A and B are shown apart, each in its own frame.
Chain A
Amino acid sequence: MTLKPPHPGSLVAFAILALVAGGFIALATVDGGTPTLLSIGPYLWRVLAFSLIQAALSTVLSLALGIGLALALARRRFPGRDIVLAILGSTMVMPTIVAVFAVFAVYGRSGWLADALAVLGWTGGFSIFGYPGILIAHVFLNGPFVARITLDGLNQVPAEHWRLASALGFTPVQIFRHLDWPLLRGELPGVAGLIFLMCFKSFAIVLALGGGPGRSTLEVAIFEALKIDLDFGRVAWLALIQLAICLSMTALLHWAFTRPPVGHTIRSLAHRPDAKDRGLKILDAVVLVVSGLFIAPLAFSVLTGLRRLPAVIDADLLRAFVTSLAIAGAAALLACGLALALASAARRRRIVLRSPRSAAFYDLLPDALLAVPPFALTAGLFLLIRRFGDPSTAGLILLPLINGLAAVPFAYRYVAPRLLTTEERYGRMAASLGITGWSKLTIMDWPVLKRPLAAGFALAMALSFGDFGIVALFGGTDLVTLPYLLYERLGAYRLDEASSIGLVIVLVAILLAHASGRLSDARD
């Protein structure tokens, strides 16, 4: 009897689980001891309460802004609507550290709002640190995301339903009840859960705008335990708690939210009969103006960097640019490779082996990676590297590795559905012809896979390029990325230079996200 070699996807899944488990074990066993949970009790409760409250408030406010905006945009056609949609799309890929800059630039002590109020004679001053700044940044990043995903959903209401509503004489309330609400009810639990998860794990925004140790999320607390206190035991505890909460949330999301990632908004072919209602016209105008006043200044604040850009371009910036690009490229390559292997294993289990439960494990694994606290994993892996190799190279290894793992869920969503469709269409024919393994990948899969894979690569690269996470641990004279450089400039209150660096980051991220969208929409 000969043993069949394991599927590459199974090996990849095992490697990921071993990596995470190894990192956590290294963290928990360092220096031979672990602290009791009680020793960090009051601190933990404070951090946990703040993480939950700010995430809940951010979610509610993002949903309110996003839903209002989506309904107004669904009902209205006006010149410049496409530009509004493009701006909403760009905030979705805006790196968090750039959002931090935007909050400083608009609402900071010497920001646009303070300048405008000073002109009006009000110099009372206000602080953006703590809840105000954190909520503004979270709502700025997530409100447009809700708006886009809801608008895409609203545009999927069949044209016949709009015509029926028109023929049956539905009032605006009845339209909301029978057309909008059934759709929102299906979408919102998943969207709300996703936003809550992202805000609960928020790092760069809370680190920069929290304003003190009392305003920490678990992620920031883990970072501080590592960077300031070097308390690995506390890191392990905090990481385990975060992992438990986020894994529960991820499992819930998986159950509630099965839609593919956001594509480009499809124009609805039928007119909404409620667009003529006078009350709704006024309401929509108010929503659009208020949202515009909130989003536009933040979105456009980096444009002020255009003026100073030539002066800021120096050897440091170019080196940081190249480093960011190289790390993002490596992370994206890793993310796509892992996603392809996992998706291929999921497909085999679902269709060939007819085992949907084991296929679901491969589907869940990429999303579960989002639940793993990156700082804790990094610290654990750093300890392993220190034990077996040269710790000075750890940053260069861990930065693309952790960023790559974080991008796997996004790449997976591009690759997995296409692989499944290809198998359903051509799988039996390939099996009858004996096309398997590498031949199957190159002959059957690659022609339909190359575009979604490229789209996943571009999106993974966009996310990694602007990420300010792990680099906060390793960044310094030897390793500087553009987001790290921006954080340094913000810390030194050099807002002019920060805006120019932010502009470069945003332009590259938008360019990559745009390429991803074009590639995913293109026909094979």
Chain B
Amino acid sequence: MLVIDNCRLTWPDFTADYSLSVPTGNLCAVIGPSGGGKTTLLHMIAGFERPERGTLTFDGRDLLPLEPAKRPVAIVFQDHNLFPHLSVAQNVGLGLRPSLRLSAEERALVGEMLDAVGLAGFDERRPGEMSGGQRQRVALARALVSGRPLILLDEPFSSLDPALRRDMILLVDALRRRRSVTILMTIHTPEDVADLADQMAFVADGRVVASGRPAEILDGALAPRIAAAVSDS
């Protein structure tokens, strides 16, 4: 289980204080207004931001002393996930070995992962030759190939059209079930994941205001606030 307990981060113009628990293997959708602290929450879990107090554990292991590369966490951003001078296979291979000196077995694993995200045969393509959706699939493949059990998706599909976005979310959900990974995904349109997510967290003003099953969150007392946040973003 991912447990975030009173993790506080302070900037001159913003203070965040997070508490949230996500059971292992769950898909947790993080929603909220722009500037409310969703990305900061993910960056803190990934190790890009360090809280000044609080605890952060995953399956009982304290993550706070660990450098980003040592955490059991992989992350996919909204954009700029791929290095443009590397091929698709090399970009995925970075998830296994940053030196890119892959064994035959590891190269086969990269091929398998590309197959899993529907990009078999794209190994030698460059990111510049692919669509936005295909690039995000490559980033997803890299996150999965790393074998890290906690995957953070920071608005990964918000630049895609609604139909493609839904396809990508279905793919994420299928991969998550097949590989038993825990996923935290920030998202602008809660209805895209309402039927798939195990859990939904509403983040605003640097706090997790509410967390629970999607139906509880979307139909509960916060519904007007969520609607306002969605229309704002």
Q: Which B residues, 145 to 203, have Cβ-Cβ distances below 8 Å to chain A?
A: 146
28 inter-chain pairs at a CB distance below 8 angstroms, sorted by A residue, are A158-B79, A158-B80, A160-B79, A160-B81, A163-B48, A163-B75, A163-B77, A164-B75, A164-B77, A166-B48, A166-B67, A167-B46, A167-B47, A167-B71, A167-B74, A167-B75, A168-B69, A168-B95, A168-B98, A168-B146, A169-B69, A170-B69, A171-B98, A171-B99, A178-B86, A182-B83, A182-B85, A273-B68
Alpha-carbon separation in the docked complex, A163 to B94 (Å) = 14
Q: Which residues of A contact B85 (CB under 8 A)?
A: 178, 182
Q: Is B35 an interface residue (CB 8 A)?
A: no
In order of increasing CB-CB distance, the 7 nearest A-B pairs are A169-B69, A158-B80, A160-B80, A160-B77, A166-B68, A182-B85, A167-B68
Q: How many whole Å from B81's CB to the nearest CB in chain A? A: 7
Alpha-carbon separation in the docked complex, A118 to B50 (Å) = 54
Q: Is B84 an interface residue (CB 8 A)?
A: yes
DSSP class of B's interface residues: helix, strand, loop or mixed? Answer: loop
Nearest CB to that of B95 among chain A residues?
A168
- Does B80 contact A161, Cβ atoms closer than 8 Å? yes
Q: Which residues of B contact A160 (CB under 8 A)?
A: 77, 79-81
- Does A170 contact B77, Cβ atoms closer than 8 Å? no
Partner of B73, one of A164, A167, A178, A270: A167
- Does A169 contact B98, Cβ atoms closer than 8 Å? yes
Contacts A158-B80, A182-B84 given; does A168 touch B46 at CB 8 Å: no
Q: Which residues of B contact A158 (CB under 8 A)?
A: 79-80
Q: Is A174 an interface residue (CB 8 A)?
A: yes
Q: Which residues of A contact B (CB under 8 A)?
A: 158-161, 163-164, 166-171, 174, 178-179, 182, 270, 273
Q: Which B residues, 194 to 233, have Cβ-Cβ distances below 8 Å to chain A?
A: none
- In this complex, how many residues of chain B approach chain A with their Cβ under 8 Å: the count is 25
Q: How many whole Å from A364's CB to the nearest CB in chain B? A: 27
Nearest CB to that of B94 among chain A residues?
A168
Q: Which residues of B contact A174 (CB under 8 A)?
A: 98-99
Query: Which of A158, A164, A182, A273 has most chain B Cβ within 10 Å?
Result: A164
Q: Which B residues, 22 to 78, have Cβ-Cβ distances below 8 Å to chain A?
A: 43, 46-48, 67-71, 73-75, 77
Nearest CB to that of A157 among chain B residues?
B80
Q: How many whole Å from A290's CB to the nearest CB in chain B? A: 31
Q: Which residues of A contact B98 (CB under 8 A)?
A: 168-171, 174
Q: How many whole Å from A278's CB to the nearest CB in chain B? A: 15
Alpha-carbon separation in the docked complex, A270 to B81 (Å) = 15
Q: How many whole Å from B56's CB to the nearest CB in chain A? A: 16
Q: Which residues of B contact A169 (CB under 8 A)?
A: 67-70, 98
Nearest CB to that of B90 among chain A residues?
A178
Given A164-B81, A166-B68, A182-B84, 20 extra CB contacts under 8 A: A158-B80, A160-B79, A163-B46, A163-B48, A163-B77, A164-B75, A166-B69, A167-B46, A167-B74, A167-B75, A168-B95, A168-B146, A169-B67, A169-B69, A169-B98, A170-B69, A171-B98, A171-B99, A178-B86, A182-B85
